């Protein structure tokens, strides 16, 4: 039995996130467990999920792999939380809103992408990223 779809394709937050994630070299989108997953071979970002230990869904969250050098600082920021299922693998999450800092979201996606992407894809990124 397939997972139910847990997002709305017309969601403007998802549209903005898609434009950032799919602008990364060789990035693709695939639906997994009812949610949009952004991949470059492996998954580097997920839209929506839940907080570890909480029962409620967080449908507008970005789940990502933080840069190891920034993870501790992000964990100290109240905006970030440990996502269910992904947390034990080092992932973090942040709720998105239409007025969130989209430059910061782009940086989080870039850092996550760099954790999993093959060298050929990373080489296609601008050198100032």
Domain assignments of the chain as residue spans, ordered by start: 15-122
Instruction: Quote the CA–CA distance of 25 and 15 in Å, as a whole number.
Output: 18
**pLDDT tens per residue, range 58-112:** 999 999 999 999 999 999 999 999 999 999 999 999 999 999 999 999 999 999 9
Instruction: Quote the CA–CA distance of 3 and 1 in Å, as a whole number.
Output: 7
pLDDT-based confidence at residue 129 (cuts at 50, 70, 90): very low
pLDDT at 25: 98
Instruction: Quote the CA–CA distance of 26 and 20 in Å, as a whole number.
Output: 13
Q: What is the mean pLDDT of residues 15-43?
A: 98
Q: From 3.40.30.10, 3.50.30.50, 3.10.20.30, 3.90.1150.30, which CATH number describes the 15-122 domain?
A: 3.90.1150.30
38 DSSP β-pair partners: 29, 45
Do 71 and 117 meet the contact criterion of CB atoms below 8 Å apart?
no
């Amino acid at each position: 039995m397939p997972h139910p779809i847990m997002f709305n394709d017309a969601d403007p937050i998802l549209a903005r996130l898609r434009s950032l994630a799919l602008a990364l070299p060789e990035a693709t989108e695939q639906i997994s467990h009812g949610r949009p997953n952004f991949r470059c071979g492996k998954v580097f970002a997920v839209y929506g999920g839940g907080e570890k230990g909480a029962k409620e869904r967080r449908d507008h969250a970005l789940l990502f792999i933080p840069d190891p050098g920034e993870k501790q600082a992000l964990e100290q920021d109240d905006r970030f939380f440990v996502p269910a299922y992904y947390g034990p693998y080092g992932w973090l999450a942040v709720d998105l809103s239409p007025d969130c800092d989209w430059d910061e979201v782009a940086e989080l996606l870039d850092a996550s992408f760099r954790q999993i992407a093959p060298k050929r894809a990373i080489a296609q990124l601008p050198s100032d990223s």
